[in-house]
């Protein structure tokens, strides 16, 4: 893992309603520099998949509003109940982060993430848009084609991440194709 990914110490966060919040403003710059969270006033709010990844890697200590520790499994259950694609996003996010990429939320093509080329964040825009398909999930060709067309219009490369039953992620670069009747 690249050295920019390491955080100095375990990060303290709170689960407030539907948000995972970091209130230690002294850590905001460190986290934002490596692509974690979004500022909301005097707080840094983590996406569920970001919080899950930091919990999974032992770099986050999460408590609820009563001061009780929230485990990885508890947050995973809460996240999945909120959004049916939470586990899928976490699996892809974890895989891409472990490869040294900075990953942010996507543009709204379903389960998607913006992925920055190594060393490009925050100076340059994301190069890739990754969207997920769980193995065995059916998707209409027209829907896939429309997503790819929109991603290419944004000047990004479209990547389909297929999550196998064993939890492995396989990536496919997708280009435009024209099918004639």
How much is the pTM?
Answer: 0.87
Query: Of the given ranges (6-10, 87-91, 112-116), which has the lowest mean pLDDT?
Result: 6-10
Tokens of 70: 């929230």
pLDDT tens sequence across 127-171? 999 988 888 877 787 888 888 888 888 889 999 999 998 889 999
Taking the C-alpha atoms of residue 2 and residue 160, their distance in angstroms, rounded to an integer, is 25
What is the predicted pLDDT for the residue at 177? 62
pLDDT tens sequence across 34-88? 999 999 999 999 999 999 999 999 999 999 999 999 999 999 999 999 988 889 8
b (16+ CB within 10 A) / e for 131-167? bbbeeeeeeeeeebeebbeebeeeebbbbbbbbeeee
In what helix (H) or strand (E) does residue 90 lie, and over which residues does it extend?
helix 86-98
What is the predicted pLDDT for the residue at 63? 97
User: What is the phi/psi pair of residue 177, to 5°?
Assistant: -140, 145
Q: Cβ–Cβ contacts within 10 Å for residue 42, how many?
A: 8
pLDDT tens sequence across 18-36? 999 999 989 998 899 999 9
Taking the C-alpha atoms of residue 62 and residue 68, their distance in angstroms, rounded to an integer, is 8
Is 16 a residue whose pLDDT tops 90? Answer: yes
What is the predicted pLDDT for the residue at 150? 85
Tokens of 133: 């398909």
What is the predicted pLDDT for the residue at 151? 86
């Amino acid at each position: 893992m690249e050295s920019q990914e390491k955080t100095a110490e375990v990060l303290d966060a709170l689960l407030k309603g539907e948000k995972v919040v970091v209130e230690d403003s002294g850590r905001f710059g460190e986290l934002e520099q490596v692509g974690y969270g979004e500022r909301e006033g005097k707080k840094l709010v983590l996406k569920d998949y970001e919080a899950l990844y930091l919990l999974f890697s032992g770099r986050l200590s999460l408590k609820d509003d009563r001061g009780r520790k929230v485990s990885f499994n508890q947050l995973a259950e809460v996240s999945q109940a909120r959004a049916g694609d939470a586990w899928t996003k976490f699996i892809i996010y974890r895989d891409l982060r472990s490869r040294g990429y900075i990953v942010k939320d996507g543009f709204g093509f379903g389960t998607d993430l913006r992925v920055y080329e190594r060393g490009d964040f925050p100076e340059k825009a994301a190069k890739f848009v990754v969207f997920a398909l769980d193995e065995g999930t059916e998707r209409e060709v027209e829907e896939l084609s429309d997503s790819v067309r929109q991603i290419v219009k944004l000047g990004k490369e479209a990547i389909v991440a297929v999550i196998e039953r064993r939890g492995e992620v396989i990536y496919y670069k997708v280009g435009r194709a024209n099918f004639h009747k």
